[in-house]
Structure formats: C-alpha cells, structure tokens
C-alpha cells in the first residue's frame, strides 16, 4: 500500500469458527482488526449455558474491542462504528444482513468472504447445499457487499479441489475458511488501491435455505447415497438422526459416523438419546438381546 505501507483499519463482523479461521489467516499476514462485531452470548448445549461466540473469545484473548449488538439498525450502534473510523469492513459468517446505514460508513466499503463460487449457492447454507446437491466444484468468493443477500460484485474467487467427495461439512467449512482467509489477505492491499470488482451474472444465481433441526432426520429406507450426503453435510449441526420406537415412545438415534460403499449405507457410530456414544453394531446386538 501507499502511505508507507500503512495497514488499513478494519472492522470484522463474524461469529463462528469459520470467522475465527479467517481472523487467524488475516492476523498471520498482519491484518488485526480494530474492532470485532459478533453475535450476543447465547445458550448452548444440553444445559443451555450462556456462551460467547468463537469470534468474541478470539478478540478478547487478544484484547481487541468486541461489540455484541442485538441489532445493527439503531442509531447508537451506527455512531459507535463511525467513532472507530475504520477504512474497510470485513464480513465472514456474521449471521445477519448488514443494513445500508452500516454498509456505507467505511470509505472502502465492505468485503464479504462467502464459501461458494458465486453466483451459485447464495444464502445461509452454501456448504451443506453443495454437499447435498453433489456440487463437487466448490471454492470461496470475496465479494463487495451491497444491500441484497450475496448479490454484490465479485472481487476474487479461488477454487478448492476436494479429493474424497462427499466431505464432512465441518471439514469442508474449515478448508474453505483457510482458503478464504488467505485470499482475503492477498486482496485487501489491492482493494485499498482500487482493485476492480465484476458484477455477478444474476441469471445464474442459485439460492440456499436456512438449515433447521428437522433437516437432519434420516429415513433409513430412503436412498442410501442421499442419506449419506445428509450425514456428511450435517455432521456438525444439526446432526443426522433417525427414530426408533421403544416401549411406545420414540427414541432419537444420532448418527456420528457412517460409510457408503457399493451402494450401501453403513452406520458405524451412534449416540442413542440419553446415552453415551457406541458402535451401531453393539447397539443393534443389545436391542436384539432384549427382544429374545
């Protein structure tokens, strides 16, 4: 960059591990954010313990100011962001749309790291959707945010070659985050000097939906390959599961590991509701013994 290679002042909007990996990649290249904006603490786990986001923990560990607004649309938050005088905003898996009142604060706009090759798979679940639809050509996009969802012009893209398809969703998420963070660190200096962005071909856009807990339900009598893709795509959340009926009650069986070979789905590890993880073979053997 000009001005004695001075690093830009960055505000970073992000929440889960995907965002933290990008923060790590940026920090490794000397791009530490001036402020981090993340989701408020939320209940997690079976005991619903109030827990900070991964991005908040990362920022506080490094003594970086962290903001956790419930909404980005009030005047007080806009004034705080203006006070920080950041040159550029970065968004990576923040979880909310950035309103116009915030988008147009930084002189160099807002860059977003999106884990798909836009315009494919806009929306909240691009990674899961790529696995479910068997879209083996995947990668990341650095785009300039505009007021519409994943609609802005493309700044840079990088493809990821996945050797063993389908991958687990958690693995693909981390791989794409590392690539996205590396690409972003390369792009920021160029962007600050006027690097161009190219409009997306909106006619080719595809859209993804928000994943719900119910999406993880597996019908064991359904297509084995489709079931395996669901198990892979939802390995971290919501998890793949099926129900069995026992003593007149439905019991949820969470699938932790499975394989798909020669057209057959093999369930390997499970966690029955209220019990510890075990092999599916041991579980079936135990159920068989109880019926004898």
Are 99 and 225 members of one domain?
Answer: no
Q: What is the pLDDT of residues 176-188, one digit of tens each?
A: 999 999 999 999 9
Given a contact cutoff of 8 angstroms between Cβ atoms, the answer to whether 229 and 132 are in contact is yes
Q: What pLDDT sits at residue 289?
A: 63
Q: What pLDDT sits at residue 4?
A: 40
- CATH number of domain containing 257: 3.10.25.10
- The whole-number average pLDDT for the span 116-136 is 96
Q: What is the pLDDT of residues 197-218, one digit of tens each?
A: 999 999 999 999 999 999 999 9
Q: What is the pLDDT of residues 217-234, one digit of tens each?
A: 999 999 999 999 999 999
- The whole-number average pLDDT for the span 258-284 is 93
Closest CA to 64 of 44, 82, 38, 45: 38
The span from the CA of 127 to the CA of 60, in Å, is 28
- The whole-number average pLDDT for the span 222-248 is 93
- The whole-number average pLDDT for the span 84-91 is 98
| Number of neighbouring beta carbons within 10 Å of residue 251 | 14
102, two tokens = 């915030």
The span from the CA of 168 to the CA of 271, in Å, is 18
Q: What is the pLDDT of residues 17-26, one digit of tens each?
A: 999 999 999 9
The span from the CA of 273 to the CA of 289, in Å, is 19
Are 264 and 126 members of one domain?
Answer: no
Q: What pLDDT sits at residue 5?
A: 61
| Number of neighbouring beta carbons within 10 Å of residue 8 | 18
Are 160 and 194 members of one domain?
Answer: yes
In which band, very low, low, confident or very high, does the pLDDT at 285 lie, cut at 50, 70 and 90? confident
In which band, very low, low, confident or very high, does the pLDDT at 48 lie, cut at 50, 70 and 90? confident
Boundary residue ending a domain (171, 204, 237): 204
> Quick check: 3 pLDDT over 50?
no
% of the chain exceeding 90 in pLDDT:
86
> Quick check: 291 pLDDT over 50?
yes
Q: Give me the domain span that covers residue 126.
A: 2-204
> Quick check: 38 pLDDT over 80?
yes
Are 47 and 156 members of one domain?
Answer: yes
Boundary residue ending a domain (204, 230, 262): 204
Q: What is the pLDDT of residues 73-83, one digit of tens each?
A: 999 999 999 99
- Per-residue burial over 41-63, b if 16 or more Cβ lie within 10 Å, else e, is eeeeeeeeeeebbbbbebbeeee
Q: What pLDDT sits at residue 47?
A: 79
Q: What is the DSSP letter of 167?
A: P
198, two tokens = 């190219």
Are 157 and 129 members of one domain?
Answer: yes
Q: What pLDDT sits at residue 153?
A: 98
Closest CA to 25 of 186, 135, 167: 186
Are 29 and 171 members of one domain?
Answer: yes
Helix (H) or strand (E) holding 76: helix 75-84
Tell me the average pLDDT of the chain. 93
Are 36 and 155 members of one domain?
Answer: yes
**24 vs 247 pLDDT, higher one:** 24
- Residue 21's φ and ψ, nearest 5 degrees, are -60, -40
Are 249 and 157 members of one domain?
Answer: no
In which band, very low, low, confident or very high, does the pLDDT at 286 lie, cut at 50, 70 and 90? confident
Are 89 and 222 members of one domain?
Answer: no
Boundary residue ending a domain (182, 204, 226): 204
Are 35 and 96 members of one domain?
Answer: yes
In the sheet that holds 66-67, the strands lie side by side as 66-67, 35-37, 10-14, 88-92, 110-114, 138-144, 154-160
Q: What pLDDT sits at residue 2?
A: 44
Q: What pLDDT sits at residue 249?
A: 85
- CATH number of domain containing 81: 3.40.50.12230
Are 50 and 117 members of one domain?
Answer: yes
Q: What pLDDT sits at residue 247?
A: 76
Q: What pLDDT sits at residue 133?
A: 96
In which band, very low, low, confident or very high, does the pLDDT at 1 lie, cut at 50, 70 and 90? very low
Are 18 and 151 members of one domain?
Answer: yes
* Domain count along the chain: 2
């Amino acid at each position: 960059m000009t001005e004695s290679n001075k690093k830009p002042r960055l505000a970073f909007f992000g929440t889960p591990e995907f965002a933290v990996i990008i923060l790590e990649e940026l920090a490794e290249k000397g791009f530490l954010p001036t402020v981090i904006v993340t989701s408020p603490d939320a209940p997690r786990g079976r005991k619903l313990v109030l827990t900070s986001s991964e991005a908040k923990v990362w920022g506080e560990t490094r003594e970086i100011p962290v903001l956790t607004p419930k909404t980005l649309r009030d005047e007080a938050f806009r004034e705080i962001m203006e006070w920080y005088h950041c040159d550029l905003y970065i968004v990576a898996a923040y979880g909310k749309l950035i309103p116009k009142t915030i988008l147009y604060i930084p002189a160099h706009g807002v860059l977003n790291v999106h884990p798909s090759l836009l315009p494919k798979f806009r929306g909240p679940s691009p990674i899961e959707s790529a696995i479910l639809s068997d879209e083996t050509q995947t990668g990341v996009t650095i785009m300039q945010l505009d007021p519409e969802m994943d609609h802005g012009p493309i700044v840079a893209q990088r493809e990821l070659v996945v050797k063993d398809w389908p991958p687990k969703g958690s693995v693909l998420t981390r791989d794409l985050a590392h690539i996205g963070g590396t690409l972003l660190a390369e792009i920021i200096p160029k962007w600050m000097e006027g690097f161009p962005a190219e409009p997306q071909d909106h006619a080719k856009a595809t859209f993804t939906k928000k994943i719900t807990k119910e999406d993880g339900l597996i019908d064991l009598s359904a297509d084995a390959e489709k079931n395996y893709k669901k198990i892979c795509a939802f390995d971290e959340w919501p998890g793949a599961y099926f129900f069995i009926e026992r003593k007149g009650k439905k019991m949820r069986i969470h699938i932790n590991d499975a394989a798909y070979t020669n057209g057959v789905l093999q369930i390997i590890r499970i966690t029955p509701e209220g019990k510890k993880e075990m092999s599916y073979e041991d579980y079936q053997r135990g159920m068989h013994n109880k019926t004898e």
